[in-house]
Chain A
């Protein structure tokens, strides 16, 4: 596909190759649940059925309201903003995991989302989860088997005895998060989207994972990073986009954007 083409095209001086183009994107969540108190009662539901009114329980949450930016090869872009500002949502949309309501979203190859909440199976052993996770990322059976020892080694879950053969429900939350990060980081990616993954684990693991992200970035071309830890954004990204309530408030060099963001947060 386009990836190879982009890679082979000689990069002329001053010309940069776009890898992700986000053009006036809107994302809307539709949430089923009781809206106003009392609307979930059987009587209310029955009267709705008789009168033919639309379920009030179906609520729309307009999470992203017209966001546009372009990311280039070799760039690391930080996404910052307060809780619920739409950072994770825009990452999921770029990864093609959430459908967009309006606008255009173009990517080179298939971007991969590397999150801490990639659901694995808690009743299965860590080793089985590694295999399953690798296959879910599209690895072949042989590749998955080859990658498994390195993943377990990287996650460090075996540092205190043989935990890889124990069910994941017996893991501490930090161990589980480390294993999930290790699985997700085992594959090469065209465009890599990282959601808070660097915040997991202890200081030693954080250092190791930041190193891994730098390697991935060297291979990948473009990295997006969502984090509430401003220091890790400053360390990793030269450019940052600040989202607030689903719209972009600032887009530019990380230091300037972070400064503005901190002023905004302190003022509140």
Chain B
């Protein structure tokens, strides 16, 4: 190079030494776990703005707009009530079946939509990732925030359904908040984990719907979870009862409904819920962070 022709203290240094001498950093090094969390905190306004933008963008071409946030769960509840409540009449021993069904359905859909959107949150935003520099975990976290907004609307609908079907409003309803908070942490971890998996295994997007449907049947959404203990071998029943989705659903049912059959005792359910939130929340975060530098490759 022409600039090294005269007495230059940098002459003869290797590129790495030259970089060290002038304090240059290696491009695209992964931050530590703690500083990654700090970066995410610094980008919190981007995360919320992006989540809000996604919500209003998804409704921008409809006439009813954000009203669909309420109409979608309402229609869902009507369809499932028609099939399971009227056509098949699967009431079994459950006292308030329609409220029982809707609680299970809405809580399950909260996680299901996060999983479906999370798995494409990296592959679907390649343009953004290759153009701008921001902690990539913003994208899956924004996905779980969007669904938190939607579950808020669903809970309003659910409150209406539960009260109309004759359940009393009690102090126990306050337990909804910690239960949803735990599920939110679980969802964020799930979204981050699936986002990295989905960016590596692109076929995952096709498989997720089937996984989620199987999971739904194992979560006691349409029938009493007591059926599992009666019909499954012991080990399978234990596995199903530890299922995080069943746990989150039963916590909400316990909070909102009277005389509801539960698969485990209430303190046990809370312990399980906290356990799953911690494991999936932290596990998903660490797993996603480890791939931080690879997401631009596609």
Contact = CB atoms under 8 A, between A and B. Distances in A.
B93 to A, nearest CB: 45
Interface in B77-130: 125, 127-130
A121 B57 contact: yes
A115 B132 CA distance: 9
A44 interface: no
Nearest to B2: A252
A135 B3 CA distance: 39
B18 A70 contact: yes
Given A97-B131, A98-B130, A117-B131, A14 B6 contact: yes
A171 to B, nearest CB: 15
B27 interface: yes
B294 interface: yes
A6 B49 contact: no
Given A1-B25, A124-B53, A18 B19 contact: yes
A19 B134 CA distance: 21
B26 A97 contact: no
A41 interface: no
Given A92-B130, A105-B27, A17 B46 contact: no
B134 A17 contact: no
Q: Classify chain A's interface size.
A: 35 or more
B131 A93 contact: no
A115 B127 CA distance: 11
A132 B46 contact: yes
A131 B1 contact: no
A18 B45 contact: no
Nearest to A22: B15
B25 A119 contact: no
B133 interface: yes
Interface string B2-32: 1100111110000110110011111110000
B127 to A, nearest CB: 3
Contacts of A105: 26-28
B49 A14 contact: no
Nearest to A253: B2
Interface string A14-52: 111111110100000111100000000000000000000
Contact of B49 (A5, A20, A31, A135): A135
B60 interface: yes
Interface in A88-146: 92-100, 104-113, 115, 117-119, 121-124, 128, 131-132, 135-138, 140-141, 144
Contacts, number: 152
A112 B27 CA distance: 12
A96 B28 contact: yes
Contacts of B72: none
Contacts of B42: 138
Contact of A136 (B24, B26, B57, B128): B128
Interface in A169-216: none
B239 interface: no
Contacts of B293: 96, 99
A14 B10 CA distance: 11
- Is chain A's interface secondary structure helix, strand, loop, or mixed overall? mixed
A119 B128 CA distance: 5
A164 to B, nearest CB: 15
B141 to A, nearest CB: 14
A72 interface: yes
Contacts of A122: 57
A18 B18 contact: yes
B27 A96 contact: yes
Contact of B43 (A92, A118, A135): A135
B56 interface: yes
Contacts of B24: 2, 6, 18-21, 106-108
Contact of A124 (B46, B60, B298): B60
Interface of B: 1-3, 6-10, 15-16, 18-19, 22-28, 42-43, 45-46, 49-50, 53-54, 56-58, 60-61, 125, 127-134, 202, 293-294, 296-298
Given A99-B297, A106-B16, 12 more contacts: A1-B23, A2-B23, A18-B24, A23-B16, A70-B1, A95-B27, A96-B133, A105-B28, A106-B15, A107-B24, A110-B133, A135-B45
30 contacts: A2-B22, A3-B23, A16-B3, A18-B22, A20-B24, A21-B18, A30-B297, A92-B296, A96-B27, A97-B296, A98-B296, A99-B297, A100-B27, A100-B28, A104-B26, A105-B26, A106-B16, A106-B19, A108-B24, A109-B25, A118-B127, A128-B53, A132-B53, A136-B46, A136-B50, A136-B134, A138-B43, A138-B134, A141-B45, A252-B2
